[in-house]
Structure 1
């Protein structure tokens, strides 16, 4: 009988304590596996879902809720904003790209996003099959929508009202798939895109005519003129604010960056920029996704929106960092729990092997009398502890990935971000840590076996 067979025989003679040690080790490894993969996947999604988006503008409310609803699509919107307000803001010289989005419906949990073709630029998207929409009720679907719902170009589907899959179905307004997006490893893979008019029409909202791409080459000079005038008015307003502060003792405060911010009423500030800057005709959208034209816009656009309009501006970078920090507290707590469980597993292995030695001391003495060296006895006990924790570690990894897969299947379709079968580099260290715990736990029993004295044990017999 070779050494491994002998070790396995010794392990199977005490199934109760062995299974307990394996379970404790596997639970600790599984929890750490889930933590590592969840944290890694979440961090990647934070990056992928905010690629070129510097600012999100929406209705007043919670900035975090605005980010969650508009970028990650895992929460309800804070409300609607006037489309013309959003367009005027997007036409300022500080904004390179401004894309409105409108929420309201879903298809089996996949959210329907009314938007413009420029939305694809924000996420560097491309169409794998088909083409972009050209008229209302034509939709471009994400790769995961096509895979999970078995949709392809030419298929039709009906959306449900609201953001829950069980909402009222709009049977009178079928959507037709005209394109499928390439996989981008972002939330867009689980979204359905269409034009803004489709979202308005499906809810019976009357709206004014807009071109689908909203590009008007014949009006470029007029748009540039409006942009220049808006910039000059904003600059002159800032100079007026500075002079007013310097020569009066009126109420004022100082911004965190040292700039002086006037506390004049909102109406006065809007009027000083121009009465036509935020005039609205009635069309509404959920949010406006903005990419800055220059770093200087970071300190101008959010203040302009928050202080001078009925809208709010939220920074994806800031709110995502805050969200990840909140999540990190929970992950750290779970990690501590996992380390405690693995420590208890090590103690269990130690007690198991130590008690087993008392029952096998005569077997060890006979092995010594038959020519087995002290080193061989030491090695046998050490390998026992190693095998028990190694088995627990492997089972823990399998259990951890199975748990992630189950969570992914039960999660919202737009929150499908966990890479259940992705092998994280930290998993190797988990196996090594489990093996190390087994070796340390078996060290004292192994030394006891090493010091086995044949004469003393047989005399006690």
Structure 2
């Protein structure tokens, strides 16, 4: 159970992180931790490092080395799910398509990711009110500026499934106060902010050059998602290796327990085995009988371990879904698990070989006389 659980968590986590970070070469945001910037702007599982000037972001996006630039802004949620202000290009980068309704085309229109729509169970045309912050709360709700759900995206297996997506103007307008003066509004219009800028480059050299320039000569921060994710996986990998080591140690202990169980079986059932010999059973047939019993126990143990490992994945997925709005999949057995099965069978064969030594030393006449 532990081995299959760790293998699945490790595999799905690696796949999830790589799949979600792959669409973008660089993320630019406020100064702080580059890993936090990637986790917040790409994976949407952390708080942002701050906001950056829209004018400065647009200036950077005009760099000839940049192939594509996508602005994103967030800071509000609806029932714990993040509301992301961006463009249609963001949705296309993750290969998301409409399942129902239409994409948002006006202010305060929003499309729901597949998982959000499934969990919240809203219908097309339903209105909802955002709350300030990234954690569910009803205290700082923007009641005066409700959103309208216009569409539902098809499942993609990416972060898009966990987001509510609208346009940037809606994010800006929802934070304007109704009693602001016209002069202040004009001033604010000239100083709009976004949370992050997501970039793709024409070649890898451009990403390295711009990253060095921004981090050294500006008040902004540039982070490379692939580099930061690889660094995170390296840290996590140490933990997974440790748990895998524990799992393999448990497998070895299980192999030892099979051996002890077989020795105990031969001793407790020596009268039965002696009778079988008197009825013409050969040593090989007795060996086969013991082997089949041990194999049966091993296979039952493997199947139960696989089943409870998947149950553990389901429980862990529910926990992750409540905390981070992500879920894990219940998948069929993979090659690594088949390898574990081979190891289990191999250990069973070894245990039978060592335990069968006493089978060839059965004193049939003495055993039957003592019965």
Query: Structure 1-normalised TM-score?
Result: 0.74
Alignment of 1:168-187 (within 5 A): 168=139, 169-187=141-159
Q: Report the counterpart of residue 137 of structure 1 in structure 2.
A: 108
Q: Tell me the alpha carbon deviations over residues 328-369 of structure 1, each in whole angstroms, 9 at most, x when there is no partner.
A: 111111100001111111111211221232221122111211
Residue 416 (1) aligns with residue 331 (2): no
| Structure 1 portions without partners, runs of 5+ | 1-29, 210-279
Q: Report the counterpart of residue 429 of structure 1 in structure 2.
A: 339
Residues 1:51 and 1:152: Cα distance change in structure 2 (over 3 Å): farther
Q: Report the counterpart of residue 244 of structure 2 in structure 1.
A: 335
SS at match of 1:421: coil
Q: Report the counterpart of residue 269 of structure 1 in structure 2.
A: none
Residues 1:290 and 1:422: Cα distance change in structure 2 (over 3 Å): farther
| Larger Rg, first or second structure (1 or 2) | 1
Q: Which has the higher contact order (CA 8 A, sep 6+)?
A: 1
Q: Tell me the alpha carbon deviations over residues 136-168 of structure 1, each in whole angstroms, 9 at most, x when there is no partner.
A: 211011111112222332122222321112453
CA distance in 2: counterparts of 1:150 and 1:59, whole angstroms: 35
CA drift of 1:73 comes to 0.8
Residue 453 (1) aligns with residue 363 (2): yes
SS at match of 2:125: coil
Alignment of 1:43-442 (within 5 A): 43-166=14-137, 168=139, 169-204=141-176, 281-412=190-321, 414-442=324-352
Residues 1:437 and 1:170: Cα distance change in structure 2 (over 3 Å): farther
Q: Report the counterpart of residue 267 of structure 1 in structure 2.
A: none
CA distance in 2: counterparts of 1:440 and 1:158, whole angstroms: 65
RMSD: 2.1
| Structure 2 portions without partners, runs of 5+ | none
- Given that 2:127 and 2:147 are in contact with CA atoms closer than 8 Å, whether structure 1 keeps it comes out as yes
Residue 42 (1) aligns with residue 6 (2): no
- Given that 1:52 and 1:123 are in contact with CA atoms closer than 8 Å, whether structure 2 keeps it comes out as yes
| Aligned pairs, number | 362
Residues 1:292 and 1:401: Cα distance change in structure 2 (over 3 Å): same
Residues 1:123 and 1:435: Cα distance change in structure 2 (over 3 Å): same
SS at match of 1:185: coil
- Given that 1:55 and 1:291 are in contact with CA atoms closer than 8 Å, whether structure 2 keeps it comes out as yes
CA drift of 1:441 comes to 2.0
- Given that 2:18 and 2:229 are in contact with CA atoms closer than 8 Å, whether structure 1 keeps it comes out as no
**Which stretch shifts more, 148-157 or 174-183?**
148-157
CA drift of 1:460 comes to 5.0
Query: Structure 2-normalised TM-score?
Result: 0.91
CA drift of 1:68 comes to 0.4
